[in-house]
Amino acid sequence: MTRAPGAFAVRASLLVLACVLLAACSREPVLEVEEAWIREAPEGATVLAGYMRIVHRHGEALELVGAESPHFSRVELHATRTDGERMRMEQLDTVELSGDVTRFEPGGLHLMLMSPDGEVRAGDLIPVRLHFSDGRTLDADFEVRDVRPRR
């Protein structure tokens, strides 16, 4: 003779299921891009700079190994370095994602976006695909911003 589970067993099973579902739903993404933007350049410019924050949580070691965009012939990883009293840009093969947030910002890490396929104006959204060392890709829309000082 088979006995139906008691009320306590049913409630305990439902509680366990609810906890598992809550944990699965509340887990933050492992990898995301925030505040992605491109500095608007003067008309005819052939190189632009892109900035963002890469948020990497729950994580194993990971590197950004490249990027691409359908609006540029080439996208490179760069860093601005101080060499004595001079600042220079250096192309990087990879960028190690350290800590929870890696910042790409003016005067530091940035994307160099080469040879746009047309004018890039403030307000445009430019898709960029980021490539990571574990084979993952992440798509982000970069907003073009006019950051020139106003007169």
For the chain, give every domain's residue range: 31-145
pLDDT at 14: 55
3-state SS, one letter per residue, for 7-33: HHHHHHHHHHHHHHHHHHHHCCCCEEE
Q: Which residues touch 118 (CB under 8 Å, ≥6 apart)?
A: 71
Backbone torsions φ then ψ of 117, nearest 5 degrees: -85, 5
pLDDT at 23: 47
Task: Report the largest interatomic distance among the alpha carbons of the chain, rounded to a whole angstrom.
Answer: 88
Q: Are 80 and 59 in contact (CB under 8 A)?
A: no
Q: Look at domain 31-145 and name its CATH class.
A: mainly beta
CB-side neighbour CA atoms (13 Å) of 135: 0
Q: Which residues of the chain have pLDDT under 50?
A: 19-26
- Report which of 139, 148, 146 is spatially closest to residue 54, judged by C-alpha positions: 139
**What is the distance of C-alpha 2 from the center of its chain?**
56
pLDDT at 43: 85
The two tokens of residue 131 are 């490539």
pLDDT at 28: 53
Q: Are 31 and 56 in contact (CB under 8 A)?
A: yes
pLDDT at 19: 47
Q: Which residues touch 135 (CB under 8 Å, ≥6 apart)?
A: none
